[in-house]
Structure 1
Amino acid sequence: MIKIQIPATSANIGPGFDSLGLALRLYNRVWMEECGDIQISTTDGTDVPHGEDNLIFKTARFLYELCGKPLPGLYISQENNIPMTRGLGSSSACIVAGLLGANMLLGEPLSKPDIVNLAAVLEGHPDNSTPAILGGLTTAVLQENRVYSVKVPISGRLKFAAFIPDFELKTEEARAALPEQVKHKDAVFNLSRTALMTASLFSGRLDNLRIAVEDKLHQPYRLRLIPGAEEIFTLCDKMGAYACYISGAGPTLMAMVNVTDISFKTRAEKALAELPQKFRLEMLDCDETGATVELCGQAE
C-alpha cells in the first residue's frame, strides 16, 4: 500500500493566467495498491466515481499503458479535503495522485520532471499541477509537452484567506466566458503585473500586491459568474487585505493577508454572515513541499 498526499493549489494569482500558481496547506490523501479489479472508496463520504471514469484511476491506467504494462485493477481510497470544482486544484490533485501512485507501483520509471510534464499535458495547462507537485510559488510554461518552470518560496509574512462559496463553477464554463482575443494594451497590462507579482511575493515587497494583482484577461469576465464576488473584494479591501483575486477559474476568492492580522478571520466571518450568498472561510499557509508519496500500511 502506498499513500499520496497532494496540496490544494491556487492558480493565476490575478494576472498570471495559466502560468502562476502556488501550493496551499490543505491536502487530499490517497491510498493505492494493485488488485484484481477496481475498488474505489472515500474515507469522508464524498461522492466520487467508483469505476473506470474515476480520474485517479484513469490517470494511473494511462501511465501503466504508457509504460507498456496492463493494469487489471486498483484499490483506491480517497480522503477529499480540497473542495471539488471550486478553483482550488481538485482535478490537478487527482491527476497528480494517479501519476505519482502509479509511478511508485511501477518501480519509479519516471523522474519528477517527467511527472510534472505529464500532469500538465493531461490537464492542458501547468498552473495547478506544477505547484501541486513541487510546492511553493511556481511560474510555469507548457511548450511542446514540456514544462519550463521556476519554483520560489514566498514571504513568510503572508497567509491566504480562501472564501469558498456553497456552489460549484466548472472550469469549462469559466473558460467559455473569456473572449477569444484581447487588446494589445491589456496584454501588456497583465505582463507587467505578472512580473511584479512574482517578484513581490518572493522578495516580500507586500506593498506592491494591490497593484500586482490587477488583471484584464480573465477576472472581469468571470466575476459575473460568481454571486457575491464583488462584495467579497470590497470586504477584503476594507479589512486591510493586501489583495484579493479569483482562485483559478473560481468560484473561490482568495485574499492575501498579513500573518499578524490575527483578527482577520473573525472579522471576515462576521461580515460574511450579512451577505445573501454563503461563503465559508479557510485561512491557509503556503505549502513549500508539494506532493509526497510513501509506503504505508492500510488506509487510515
Structure 2
Amino acid sequence: MSDAALAPDGAPSSVVGRRVHVKVPATSANLGPGFDTLGLALALYDDLEVEATDAAAHEISVHGVGEGEVPLDESHLVVRAMAHTFARAGVEMPSVRLVARNSIPHGRGLGSSGAAIVAGVIAASGLLEGIVDFSADDLLEVATELEGHPDNVAPALFGGLTIAWVTPDGPRHKKLIVHRGVSPLVLVPEHEMSTALARSLQPESVPHEDAVFNVSRSALLVAALIQSPELLLQATEDKLHQHYRAQAMPETDRLIRELRAAGHPAVVSGAGPSILVLASDPSERAEAIRLVEQAAETAWQPLPLAVDFLGATVTRADG
C-alpha cells in the first residue's frame, strides 16, 4: 500500500462524496481433493453500490438473498470488511450508504461470506483510490485476514481457477484459465450448513496414503480443469475431507455417490451442503439435473453456471 496522499492542510484527502459500484462472484472451494487450496469463481454475483457520506450513521439496504436477515448496521460483514481495510490503510472510515443486491446463497458452500469480505475490501480500495492504493497482493492479504484462509477470497478477487497458498510474507495466488469445455453445475438444497461445524468434523491428522492420494488428485485436477476435462471424474476423487463431513450432510453425500456412480464429477461445494458437478459438456449437466430430481428426497435448485474469468470489479460511479 502506498502512503496516503495528503491534502494541503496535512489531513488525508476526503473520500466523502465518492461512490463505487462493486460486483463479486460466487466461488466453490476445495473442488474435491484441493482442500483449502483450490477455488473456482462462478458467474453468480452480489452487486453493491457504496457511497461515502458525512451522515452520522451508516445507511444500509439489502435486496435479494439475506433481505430481512442480515444486520443493517456496522456489524454487516461488508461494512466490517470496509472498516478493516480503512484501518489497514491508516485512514478514518466515513459513514457509508450501502445498497446490496445479493444473489449468492448464504450458508450453502458458495462463498457468500468470502464474497461479502471481498466486496468490502474492494469497495474500500475503490473509495481510497489515489489516496492509498492497494496491489493485488494487498487485497488478498487484507481479505485473508478477515476470512482466515485464502481459498475462497482468491477466486472471488481474481476469477477463474485459483491456487492459493500462504507464505511467511502473506497469502499468494496463481490464477489459471479453465478449459472452455468445463460446464459447472451447482445443486443447491434448501438447508444451510455451518462452515465452523464442517471444519469441526475434520481430523487433525490423516493417514499418509490418503495425503499422497490427494496430492496426486489435486495435481491431476489442475490439469483436467485447464487442459483435459475428460479426466475430471478421476481428478475429483478425495480422501481428505468429504467423507469426514458426510455425517453432517447425509443427503449431499448420498447424491454425490449416486452422481459419481453415474459418471458425473460431483463434489461438495466448499463446506457444503451444495454439490458442484464439473461437467464436461452441457448435456452432461442436464443428465445430472435429471438424476438429482429423481433421487433427491428434498428440493434442490439446479444452477447451470459459467466460470467467471474476471473476478471482483470496482468502478467509480461519482464521475
Shorter-chain TM band: over 0.9
1:295 Cα deviation from its structure 2 partner:
2.1
* Structure number with larger C-alpha Rg: 2
The CA deviation at 1:237 is 3.2
Say whether 1:200 aligns with 2:221.
no
**Deviation, structure 1 residue 296:** 2.7
Equivalent positions of 1:1-300 (< 5 A) are 1-35=19-53, 36=55, 37-44=57-64, 45=67, 47-107=69-129, 108-144=132-168, 146-203=170-227, 205-237=228-260, 240-241=263-264, 243-261=265-283, 264-265=285-286, 268-269=289-290, 271-272=292-293, 275-296=296-317
Q: Conserved in 1, the CA contact under 8 Å of 2:164 and 2:171? A: yes
How far residue 145 of structure 1 moved from its aligned partner, in angstroms, is 5.4
> 2: CA distance between counterparts of 1:239 and 1:261?
14
Q: Aligned partners of 1:229 and 1:57: how far apart in 2?
A: 33
Change (3 A) 1:260 1:272: closer
- Once residues 126 and 91 of structure 2 are traced to their aligned partners in structure 1, the CA distance between those partners, rounded to angstroms, is 14
- 1-structure distance, mates of 2:292, 2:275: 15
Change (3 A) 1:253 1:143: same
1:277 Cα offset (Å): 2.2
Looking at structure 2, the residues matched to 117 and 267 of structure 1 have their Cα atoms a distance apart, in angstroms, of 37
C-alpha distance in 2 between matches for 1:136 and 1:95: 18
With normalisation by structure 2, the TM-score equals 0.87
Amino-acid identity (%): 36
List per-residue Cα deviations over 1:166-223 (Å, max 9, x = no partner).
11111100000111111111111111111110112111x1222212111111101112
Measure the CA separation in 1 of the matches of 2:99 and 2:184. Answer: 29
Q: Secondary structure, in 3 states, of the residue corresponding to 2:250?
A: coil
Stretches of 4+ aligned residues off by more than 6 angstroms:
none
Q: Over residues 132-185 of structure 1, what are the superposed CA-to-partner deviations in whole Å (9 max), with x where a residue is unaligned?
A: 111100111022352222111111111111111111111100000111111111
On the 8 A contact 1:153/1:288 being kept in 2, the answer is: yes
- 1:121·1:145 contact (CA, 8 Å) conserved in 2? no
Cα distance in 2 for residues equivalent to 1:266 and 1:217:
28
Gaps of 5+ in 1: none
